[in-house]
Amino acid sequence: MRSRPRSARAPSSTLTRFSTLAVADVAARGLAFLATLLIVRAFADEAFGQLGVATAVVAYALQASTCGLDVFAVRHGARHPDQIGATASSVMAMRSTLGLVAYALLLAVCWGVPALRPIFPLVALFGLTIFTGALSLTWVPQALQQSGALAAANLSIGALYFLGVLVITRTGGPLWSVPVAQVAAEALVAVGLYWWLRGRAARLVAPRPWAEWGRVLQESAPIGASLLLRTIALGSDLVLLRLLLVGDAQIGWYNGASRLFALMMGLSAVYFTILFPRLSQRAAESPGAFRSEALGSLARVMPLALAAAVGVAALAPWALGLLFSPSFANAAMALRILGVAALVNVINNHFRYMLLATNRQQRYLRDTAVATLAHVAFKLVLIPMAGIEGAALGTLSGELAVLVLGLWATRGDLRRRVVPE
């Protein structure tokens, strides 16, 4: 076996790779927004609210089935690129097995909760993304810092989904065909990444023996549990709005604001897609290199994040009315609050990846559990008092709780050596 896959050549600069990914991500999310606009115009506000709740519920099962294996694989692949083939096949096998369990539980819970039963068909179809995600290898180019392949994969998913929605809305297709378009797009890109891996990085080999699954899952499970809790925390807005009997039209307005919030979060996530493997490498080199990478990152991104939050506050009513419909301007204040929450989240992500890069997933899990309780508690109190604005305030309050916990957890990282757990 080759000691180093061909695609693991020296990566380009952070700025170059971020620019590549950012352009592709903005284009992909732009296509997704165009698809959203087509859906809003083709279906009622209530239907758009149902789609938002269904995707939020499925996100919980998707994160549970992932079990942190993608993050574990990125960290392991960045440090051991010669083992990519074995790691990829093992991750696909483990995620597919876990996905069967998660999908069955998802259907059972959705059918058993009366408030969710009307959207059962949407949940069942969106839930198939559990399996397309399990077979996807998008983490491989991330681990190998091959931004071109990762950018192409993200853009392809957005483009294929948009084309599917365009056909659905032009032909008067039913609402349930929207998740089918999403599943088909992800499946086609998963096949493309498989061929890219064979031709550019490494061939798949037999997965790790069953006996080793337990060891890998023991290391990845805390990461997966943390990601699941974060998904619950950030996605609880729409679910709690539904369970607390807020009208579907209001949920639809808030879903529009949350889509813009997701756009901000997604662009931030592009940056951390690049930063995480670099932090993992620097943590293995020396405490000084780790400190320099973390401090330099904070200095680079915070001015841009602050400017983005100010822009969202100024343009919120105009953007919602233009992108969706005039009635969505009712969620302008909620969007302004979510913009501040996105700014806080940029800082929080630095703390998150600093902990994960130094194998302190157990500490991150404990802090995330506390922060998730804060998220849900704030929303349970604020939604009955202020409706959709209360949901946004709950998100901001929860992110401030994450900020406090993250500051405490990483207080010594920038002045002394970090000892992995």
The three state secondary structure string of 194-214 is: HHHHHHHHCCCCCCCCHHHHH
What local confidence, expressed as pLDDT, does residue 204 receive? 66
DSSP assignment string, 203-247: ---PPPPHHHHHHHHHHHHHHHHHHHHHHHHHHHHHHHHHHTT--
Token representation of residue 148: 């071109």
DSSP assignment string, 261-301: HHHHHHHHHHHHHHHHHHHHHHHHH-HHHHHHHHHHHHHHH
pLDDT band at 201 (very low <50, low <70, confident <90, very high): low
Question: For residue 10, is pLDDT > 60?
Answer: no
What local confidence, expressed as pLDDT, does residue 16 receive? 67
Cα(3)–Cα(145) distance, integer angstroms: 17
Mean pLDDT of the chain: 82
What local confidence, expressed as pLDDT, does residue 310 receive? 93
Nearest residue to 324 (alpha-carbon basis) of 386, 269, 249, 266: 249
pLDDT in tens, 400-412: 999 999 888 888 7
What local confidence, expressed as pLDDT, does residue 418 receive? 45
Cα(64)–Cα(76) distance, integer angstroms: 20
What pTM does this model have?
A: 0.65
Q: Which residues of 371-390 are buried (b: 16+ CB within 10 A; e: fewer)?
A: bbebbbebbeebbeeebbbb
What local confidence, expressed as pLDDT, does residue 184 receive? 92
Question: For residue 377, is pLDDT > 90?
Answer: yes
Total Cβ atoms within 10 A of residue 180: 16
Question: For residue 49, is pLDDT > 60?
Answer: yes
Cα(125)–Cα(164) distance, integer angstroms: 15
What local confidence, expressed as pLDDT, does residue 202 receive? 59
Could you say which DSSP state residue 10 is in? P
Question: For residue 293, is pLDDT > 50?
Answer: yes
* Helix (H) or strand (E) run with residue 125 in it: helix 120-126
Q: Which of 36-45, 182-191, 408-417 has the highest mean pLDDT?
A: 182-191
3-state secondary structure of 315: helix
Those residues whose C-beta lies under 8 Å from the C-beta of residue 276, and which sit 6 or more positions away, are 71, 74, 75, 142, 353, 356, 357
Contact between 74 and 222 (Cβ < 8 Å): no
Say what percent of the chain tops pLDDT 90.
19
What are the residue boundaries of the structural domains of the chain, listed by start? Answer: 10-208, 246-421
Those residues whose C-beta lies under 8 Å from the C-beta of residue 353, and which sit 6 or more positions away, are 272, 275, 276, 279
What local confidence, expressed as pLDDT, does residue 245 receive? 59
Distance of CA 31 to the CA centre of its chain: 17
pLDDT band at 414 (very low <50, low <70, confident <90, very high): low
What local confidence, expressed as pLDDT, does residue 18 receive? 65
Token representation of residue 52: 């938002």
| Span 346-359, average pLDDT | 90
What local confidence, expressed as pLDDT, does residue 139 receive? 78
Distance of CA 100 to the CA centre of its chain: 21
SS3 letters across 345-406: HHHHHHHHHHHHHCCCHHHHHHHHHHHHHHHHHHHHHHHHHHHHHHHHHHHHHHHHHHHHHH
pLDDT in tens, 320-336: 888 787 888 888 999 99
Cα(242)–Cα(244) distance, integer angstroms: 5
